[in-house]
Homo-oligomer: A and B are copies of this chain.
Amino acid sequence: MAKDHFVSQIADIETDFPQWYTDVVVKTKLVDYGPVKGTMVIRPYGYAIWENIQRELDARFQAAGVENAYFPLLIPMSFMTKEAEHVEGFAPEVAVVTHAGGAKLEEPLVVRPTSETVIGHMYGKWVESWRDLPLRMNQWCNVMRWEKTTRPFLRTSEFLWQEGHSVFAEAAEAEEETLNMLALYKEFAKTVLCMPVLTGRKTEKEKFAGAVATYGMEAMMHDGKSLQSGTTHFMGQNFAKAFGVQFTDKDGTLKYGYTMSYGVSTRLIGAIIMTHGDARGLILPPPVAPVQVVIVPIAQKKEGVLEACKALEGKLKAAGVRVRLDDSDNSPGWKFNEWEMKGVPLRIELGPRDIESGKLTLFRRDTCEKEERPLAGAEESVANLLHEISEHLYLKAEKRMRERIVPANTLEELLAGVDGNFVRAGWCGERACEDRVKEFAQATARVMDGVHDTKTCVCCGKPAKHTVFFARAY
């Protein structure tokens, strides 16, 4: 009864995935809608996921020698126009401050949609000599892009992200960093989000406004659509020239630096939800789950039950597990459904009979199967199971993605295959063909595969210059 009650709160994942997503993010209290159209409020359960993402990713940046800093939110409108492609890409979606302190401003100020311009300006002040290079900084902040259609985590007017910006003396160094950060993201997605991704270079059409080359990582969601989950950009000297990022080299000559940037955002929370979730709701990867283990007492009013649960909670906490004891007045069945919907990776059920026989019952959210383990040494069982769950989640998603990459030699094949799949196909490199694929199959070039083995363009039939993953995307 209670279970039906819960499941009925969420739309069916197979037949109405968009509604399932909306139901899940709101009902598990990850997020709510802000009063201004297109904005979101990240509630504690959702924000805790973001904090775990931040901690894990930040540790990787620190290990790589990147330093955190903070640059201003407001950017002079004139900065945006200094890089021609950049303003064309971002101007249509910026929010603009025109008044402040009770007066009209002399120059309108843009709420940062990304910070290449203002960071370029500061790097221009700071960089003087080759000794100052490389300069590698990152900031965790909010950004704003005025979007027409929005969806919590996936596309909102304001979102949280990190943006890393580096400047190097040599083009090769900046290109290397662009690929290194892409590899860092991919490892992070695998290890922390348990999410497989395809990585590769973006086409000219899909690249960042102002970049020489953009690389992306794309993840396959439950419905087979693609979600761009992170990007890295090699800027060449575009921004260095626009903002005067110049240095005196060892030979005494004045040269422009080469810049690059990279970012991931709260969109990753959406990626996790749509990669791992099932009919019952969320399935959160253990490394980012705010609650990794929930303890549900059975017959909790019986003598000794709550005490045993609290002792177990203390042991797991001491072992570094994010554990919650649910000793509320709700029935065990109610609690099971609540925490299943909220995607807690592991549930421990502990009642009088378990205590008597010195065992506990473990429910794995990923397989929805129960196992029994000895109560003694529970910390070890839990650690092992959390690890197993992480691996299983990754492998399951990886298998799905592998099975759903289909080839196509013609537009018709591409259209037939693209619903629920990534289509791997040859491309001549012409924008016209890319546009035609979009028009014909509502699919876009997600990334180009590093392995190029296709012969002809899926659209025009001419020799293929690249092998591309085409997909419908969020």
Q: Scan A91-125; emit 1 where CB is below 8 A from any B CB, else 0.
A: 11111111111100000110100000010011001
Interface residues of A in 41-67 (CB under 8 A from B): 41-44, 47-48, 50-51, 67
Complex interface: chain B residues within 8 A of A72 (CB): 34-36, 39-41, 158
Given contacts A68-B51, A101-B92, contact A73 B144 (CB under 8 A): yes
Q: Is the interface of A mostly helix, strand, loop or mixed?
A: mixed
Given contacts A41-B69, A44-B137, contact A98 B99 (CB under 8 A): yes
**Considering only CB atoms, which chain B residue lies closest to A266 in the complex?**
B70
Q: Is residue A470 contacting chain B, with contact meaning CB distance below 8 A?
A: no
Complex interface: chain B residues within 8 A of A43 (CB): 69
Contact for A141 among B44, B79, B142, B144, CB less than 8 A: B142
| Shortest distance from the beta carbon of A17 to any chain B beta carbon, whole Å | 26
**Considering only CB atoms, which chain B residue lies closest to A328 in the complex?**
B131
Complex interface: chain B residues within 8 A of A111 (CB): 73, 97, 111
Complex interface: chain B residues within 8 A of A160 (CB): 70
Alpha-carbon distance A198/B100, docked complex (angstroms)? 34
**Considering only CB atoms, which chain B residue lies closest to A42 in the complex?**
B70
Interface centre among A48, A69, A70, A73 (most CB of B within 10 A): A70
A-B contact pairs, 15 of them (CB 8 A): A32-B122, A35-B76, A36-B75, A36-B76, A39-B72, A41-B122, A44-B69, A44-B137, A47-B69, A48-B67, A51-B68, A73-B142, A73-B144, A95-B97, A96-B97
The residues of A with any CB-CB pair to B shorter than 8 Å are 32, 34-36, 39-44, 47-48, 50-51, 67-76, 79, 91-102, 108-109, 111, 118, 121-122, 125-126, 137, 141-142, 144, 146-148, 157-158, 160
9 shortest interchain CB distances as A-B pairs: A101-B146, A44-B67, A95-B100, A34-B72, A42-B70, A39-B72, A96-B99, A100-B146, A98-B98
